[in-house]
Amino acid sequence: MTAPDRLVAGRYRLRERIGGGGMGAVWLARDELLGRDVAVKQVIPPATADEAAAEQQRERAMREGRIAARLSHPHAISVYDVAVENGQPWLVMEYLPSRSLSEVLAEDGLLREDQAAQVGAQVADALAATHAAGIVHRDVKPSNVLIGQGGRVEGLVKITDFGISHASGDVTLTQTGQITGTPAYLSPEVAQGYEPGPAADVFSLASTLYTCLEGEPPFGMAGNSLQQLHRVAAGSIAPPRQSGRLTAPLMRMLAVDPRDRPSMAEVRDELAAIAARGGDTTEVLTARTDVASTRPATALPAPVPIRSAAPSGPRTAVEPR
């Protein structure tokens, strides 16, 4: 049984469950060796999973730890350790008291243009470093962008959840015909079943910022996940109407052909310049966002749950969660 006060791997004292990811539950815990709070992801195989599927999920969790441990960036959640207890991996991560962007949008309403530009520039800065390390995030979306709350972390922007990331040179764990990611934020090539590259993260970041400004993703939220997937694969987006100076960069990032999209470093520089309004772009990348002070506006609907679907035709399988 997993419950508050359980000691994991002789070191991490569970305090309370604070969320869930694609692979299991996330707990706030106390690292009793170093005396600091951490977030611990408990990997829980589905009740219907056989031993082979459970073992694949354990391998995937270990891979997540290896991938994330390569990264060190002020706008990315750090992974400290992969603890193993009774054969079950637990990912030990930096704990950031925060709300996700999806929670901000649901509770406070849409972002201002300058807020979206700054948040986007900071996330792009982390993702540019991720791509430079040979890693594709593969699941950039509002619920994976955190905005710090309270004290010294107020307004701190960080991207999290590298659980379906892929690093070049790693063994790929696949199941033919399945794709992973939230349909509304996928790029067209990923929806068609092709292997995602850095350009897919560019598209997903654009979809995230589009949602922050327009109130829904570029392909809308109507219908079920399979219907959304078909719309994404077709690549026909609704041009933004409320994005102001971000309209042109968003349209470039949302190009159907991944070869026509800017690099993540170019995205970072352009968004930082827009947010700086002629000022110091370096300050834009390090300053805290004032997203928490967004005035109330029309709230967004709850995020669409992740579903898997099989694209038609012979494609390269995209790794499942």
Residues 192-214: pLDDT tens digits? 888 889 999 999 999 999 999 99
State the Cα–Cα distance between residues 258 and 241, nearest whole angstrom: 23
Q: Where are the beta strands (DSSP E) in the chain?
A: 7-8, 12-21, 24-31, 36-43, 79-85, 88-94, 98-100, 135-136, 145-148, 157-159, 166-167
For the chain, the average pLDDT equals 81
* Backbone dihedral region for residue 196 (phi beyond 0: left; psi -120 to 50: alpha; all else: beta): beta
pLDDT of residue 43: 76
Given 108, 125, 139, 269, the catalytic residue: 139
- pLDDT by residue (tens digit) across 237-257? 888 999 999 999 999 999 999
State the Cα–Cα distance between residues 49 and 83, nearest whole angstrom: 22
Confidence of residue 168 (pLDDT cuts 50, 70, 90): very low
CA triple 79-84-89, angle to 5 deg: 65
Q: Which residues does residue 146 pair with via DSSP β-bridges, in sequence order?
A: 100, 158
- pLDDT by residue (tens digit) across 42-92? 877 666 667 787 777 777 777 767 777 778 899 999 989 888 888 788 889
Confidence of residue 1 (pLDDT cuts 50, 70, 90): low
- Reply yes or no on whether 139 is catalytic: yes
Q: Which two tokens stand for residue 249?
A: 């960069």
Tell me 76's DSSP state: B
State the Cα–Cα distance between residues 179 and 225, nearest whole angstrom: 12
Inform me whether the pLDDT recorded for 318 exceeds 70.
no
State the Cα–Cα distance between residues 175 and 200, nearest whole angstrom: 20
Note whether 115 and 290 are within 8 A (CB).
yes
The verdict on pTM exceeding 0.85 is no
Which among 271, 291, 294, 272 has a CA at the least distance from the CA of 281?
A: 272
